[in-house]
Structure 1
Amino acid sequence: MDTLLVHSPSMAKRPCCSSDPLVANPRVPKPDPMDSLLESFLGLSDSPPLSLDLSFDRLLDSRASDSDRNDMIDRAMRLGSSLLEAGKRSARKRATVHNAVVWALPPDLTIKVFSMLDTQSVCHAAATCSFFHKCALDPLCYANIDLRTVVPKVNNLVVSTMIQRAGKVLQSLKLGIVPGPTASLGSSQPLVYTIRNSTDASGFSWNDKRSRQGKESSILTRSCLSSLSGDIDAPGALLRRLHLYNIERMDNAALSVALSTCSYLLDLEIVGLHVELRQTLESVSKHCHLIERLYFESSKTGRDDSLKLPTCSDLVNNCPHLTSLALRGFKLHDHKVRILVKGFRKLKYVDFSTSYSITGAFLRNLLGSAGGSLLEFLILRDCMHLKEVEIARFLTAVLAGDFKMLRHLDISNREGLASEGDWYHRCYSKSFIPEKQLLEERPGFRLLAEFPPEASFVEIDQMIGSDYSDFSSPSQPSSHTSDGTLFVSSSEGSYNSDQGSGNEDGRDANFVIYEESSDEVDFLVL
């Protein structure tokens, strides 16, 4: 047999058989010399550290010049750093495999759990290990993005990344700065987050914020909502809830572009943005025909007089599903307010707190059409020109059986109510309110009428001389939120409140955007 093999023509050109398995099986990769060298080097890890130090010192001493010695030290440090990173990377890979094996839930259920967490918790989970990170990349985990902070922490990149991750499943987006919640004494109503003083409830100074405005990379700017818009599959196309708080650099044009994409928006809340009432309502009227809740608080209380009658009419005609309307801190006139309240046939909640120019005359004959008949909450807190006589007429109508659905009325005013014909003569007494009759006729009716003692208040005519902008109203008006959250105003605004309300952030570990290529995240072995 051997003779045949030797003389076989087909075998004559073949190489001689070898006992080397690499030659016998060419598919087995040849060993890399670096592997052998590294294995030998790692074997030294069991040696005493002193022997390694002595060996390195001998190598240094063998070099002829200082430059050669320095070069050897640099190479040794780079090699050590590379080995350390390689070890950490391998440990993370093994930890990820371990987590995926021992974690009790399959990926789909893990994603479902993550989708129920708040945004900050999802980011924390994503930073623990690659397994959780991969689960946290699913769009469902970012369907409801809440990036509200007490101090500036979130920048445009964070917002854009999360919106893009959510894609078409994005349902809710909340951005901006809100103060820490504090309870309103004597009030059980839900309140809304607002910033009015130079220092918010958390102790964060807005002067400190302004001193950091050079850090453009850590500020929410007018383009923070740009990721919502785009083609037909833009993330904002199916957005249902948009809440924006005290983003100083947001302007009319940027907000209008964002709203133009949100045709399915149901809930819009705007607090402290430097945007005009008329232009904002025109954008809502044009693009958000399904809206049910609109909450808009002016950043310059009492100064925005931009609302026009055609804007009111268009809003009523184009947004027939509105059930909750709050326009706070604007210069509103009764005839415009009447168009809004009477026009919306499903309206249940109205809040015109801190609005300038409202006298209460719009309350007359509200029931002439379907609009106004479903009102359940009417908030007219700290309206400077609200008249005692108009409230008395309204309560008479309530006692007569009108407004059967109304169950909450707030006419509290730290300036007192205006008297008929002489608005700067104030009324601080509740004697005109038939409280006993109201309780008898309407047992479930709740009336808030909190006024300061007359003696404790500054003379009104002195305030008139200083301009209406000096009036302040720190009492806390009420507002419902669409998601049932209790919001609170730390110190409600003056009629002049021209405070800055921007958002400028530094880097925040609470909002980690951990990419797959990042090696900076600590991995947790579960």
Structure 2
Amino acid sequence: MDASLLLRCPVKPKLKRPCCAPFPDSAAENPNLNQLDALLESFLELSDSSSVALDLSFDRVLESRAYDSDKIGLIEQALRLGSVLTEAARRSARSLACKHNAVAWPLPSDLTVKVFSLLDTQSVCHAAATCSFFHKCAADPSCYSNIDLTMGVPKVNNMVVSTMIQRAGKVLHSLKLGIVPSQPVALPGSSEVLVYSMRNSSDKSGFSWNDKRSRQGKESFILTRSCLAPLLADGGAPGSLLRRLHLYNIERMDNTAFGAAISACPSLLDLEIVGLHVELRQTLDSVSRSCPLIERLFFESSKTGRDDSLKLPTCNDLVSNCPHISSLALRGFKLHDIKVRVLVKGLRNLKCVDFSMSYSITGDFLRNLGSSAGGSLLEILILRDCMHLREAEVSRLLSAILSGRFKHLRHLDISNREGLASDDDWYHRCYTPSFMSLGELLEERPNLRVLADFPADGSFVEEPMSSSDVNSEPFSQSLTSSHTSDDYVFTSSSEGNYSSDQSSGNEDNPAPNHHPNLDESSDEVDYL
């Protein structure tokens, strides 16, 4: 067969036929199409050994052209025809592979959708790109009911979030966004998760705030204040059934955008906020107005020790409007005992409390709690690295536990890498507290785990403890609850000291005693 016949056939190079579409009905009526089909069939029946003959035939046809322009046109036509034939073959291969997958895949489409709905978001997207059958199954809204777009580095933008929320529609139950470079840590025997922020100095990912800033300069990989706007679409339908919302280190989120998004989530049960530049008071106001069913609230400040916005009316509103809260974590804020007491005493279902890195807590709020006065259901109490936590209040707490209060308490963390404060002067630190009742308490309550880790010589500990430190001598002395079967090491998520601003700026509590020789700017840390 002369290859010049194929080269001369009038073929439009950009003509495309849909995948799996049949030949036109007019083919039988058009002799040219029948001739083309026969010619192509004969051409494809050539064996591999005929490739040399085909090459020589093309050279002869090319040499038969008298002008170079004709030769160039013939070569371009051959390239176009080859490209069209190659694309047709690839399209048909994909179509056959899709049919094969649909037949060979052991599960029907409804069960495949069920399997996909159990996968994480990234895995569903990978499956959807595999073949047309998986793509069709992965388009079901139930596959996006639990959206998790958290990553170690910025890789998604507002458009990606909007697309995922639109796919989920009214079945959206969980949404997680932002940058979480380190692995979360769970308390032993508990579903409670302690989330590290971007300021965790123990992060091994190698990803820093400077990396984050440079990457977020690229608009293709950035989340802005409007990333939660899709929750308000269709009259708030996407957010109406949302149960879980976790947001991590989204720098451009503000109070207005966050409050608007929360207003569309009346069914919210679990809210986790880490590293957002939103104010504590306004955030709690939004939650108390819009989320009456909430059970877990985890809020870590983006500026440790600087947010003093919480007021007593906000605490009272939260207690009145959100009575189902069983887990409350307010980390890194200026929290005064009188306000904390309102929360702990008023929220009758509280089981887990975490006020780590609170600047103003002294421990006075714990007095007369642990019984019918409030806090009787507490199982986890974390007061780690609270700068003004007093040794006397901790001793009084241990005595209260020994006397029979806090009967459900099983985890207590009073560790402080700057030591405990004395009663008279917060600047005078106690690094070797003597809790006379601790040994007796551990004998009486063998299931209670007490973490009381303090610097041995009063020096500031830069690096958080690792699991390899468990057997070290200083750690063995500080980890006094040795009756439990499992060892648990909690590491702080702050990177530096608290702000040394000693004035509380609050009408509810006087400022702690201030040492005149303390340099006001020496401990400042610029948290991005």
What range is the shorter-chain TM-score in? 0.7 to 0.9
TM-score (normalizing by structure 2)? 0.78
CA 1:431–1:261: 2 relative to 1, 3 Å = same
SS in structure 2 at match of 1:281: helix
- Tell me the amino acid that sits aligned with residue 49 of structure 1: S
In 2, Cα distance between equivalents of 1:236 and 1:425: 50
> Which residue in 2 is equivalent to 1:144?
146
Shift, 1:380, TM fit: 0.2
Verify the 8 A CA contact 2:465 2:489 in the aligned structure 1: no
Among 78, 90, 95, which residue is 2:80 paired with? Answer: 78
CA RMSD of aligned residues (A): 3.0
Distance 1:425 1:396, change over 3 A: same
CA distance change for structure 1 residues 214 and 455 in 2, over 3 Å: closer, same or farther? closer
Q: Could you say which residue in structure 2 is the equivalent of 1:112? A: 114
Task: Give me the whole-angstrom Cα distance separating, in 2, the residues matched to 1:174 and 1:349.
Answer: 22
TM-score by length of 1: 0.79
Q: 1:29 to 1:43 in 2, by over 3 A?
A: closer
Distance 1:63 1:249, change over 3 A: farther
Q: Work out which of the residue numbers 143, 159, 167 in structure 2 matches 1:165.
A: 167
Structure 1 residues 36 and 205: CA distance shift in structure 2, 3 A: farther
What corresponds to 2:283 in structure 1?
280
Provide, for residues 89-122 of structure 1, a one-character-per-residue CA deviation record: whole Å limited to 9, x for no partner.
2211122222222222111111111111222222
Structure 1 letter corresponding to 2:147: I
- Runs of at least 4 residues off by over 6 Å: 182-189, 486-490
Counterpart position of 1:522:
none
What residue number does 1:340 align with?
343
Which residue type is aligned with residue 263 of structure 1?
Answer: P
Instruction: Check conservation: 1:197, 1:499, Cα contact below 8 A.
Output: no
- Which residue of structure 2 lines up, in the alignment, with residue 128 of structure 1? 130
CA deviations on 1:442-483 (whole Å, 9 max, x unpaired) are 22211110001125449xxxxxxxxxxxxx78569xxxxxxx
Unaligned runs of at least 5 residues, structure 1: 1-25, 459-471, 477-485, 501-526
Q: Which residue of 1 aligns with 2:197?
A: 194
Provide the residue aligned with 1:513 in structure 2. Answer: none
CA contact (8 A) 2:371 2:406 kept: no
- Aligned-partner Cα distance in 2 for 1:260–1:456: 46
Contact 1:181–1:489 (CA<8 Å) still a contact in 2?
A: no
- Give the partner amino acid of 1:397: A
1:153 — aligned with what? 155
**1:86 positional shift:** 2.1
Q: In structure 1, what is the Cα distance between the partners aligned to 2:376 and 2:288?
A: 23
Residues in 2 aligned to 1:187 and 1:235: alpha-carbon distance in whole angstroms: 34
Q: Give, in whole Å, the separation in 2 of the partners of 1:360 and 1:490.
A: 19
Q: State the Cα distance separating 1:166 from its structure 2 match.
A: 1.1
Contact persistence 1:358–1:386 (CA under 8 A): yes
Q: State the partner residue of 1:350.
A: 353
Aligned-residue offset at 1:258: 1.2
**Are residues 370 and 77 of structure 1, via their aligned partners in 2, closer, same or farther at CA, if it must alter by over 3 Å?**
farther
Shift of 1:381: 0.2
Shift of residue 288 of structure 1? 0.6
Q: What letter corresponds to residue 112 of structure 2 in structure 1? A: T
Structure 1 residue 489 displacement after superposition: 6.5
Aligned pairs (5 A) from 1:316-331: 316-331=319-334
> Once the 2 structures are TM-superposed, how far is the Cα of residue 217 of structure 1 from its aligned partner?
1.9
CA pair 233-270 structure 1, distance change in 2 beyond 3 A: closer
CA contact (8 A) 2:398 2:438 kept: no
Q: Does 1:311 align with 2:319?
A: no
- 1:204 deviates by 2.2
Partner of residue 254, structure 1 = 257
The question of 1:412 aligning with 2:411 is answered: no
Higher relative contact order (CA 8 A, sep 6+): 1
Identity %: 68
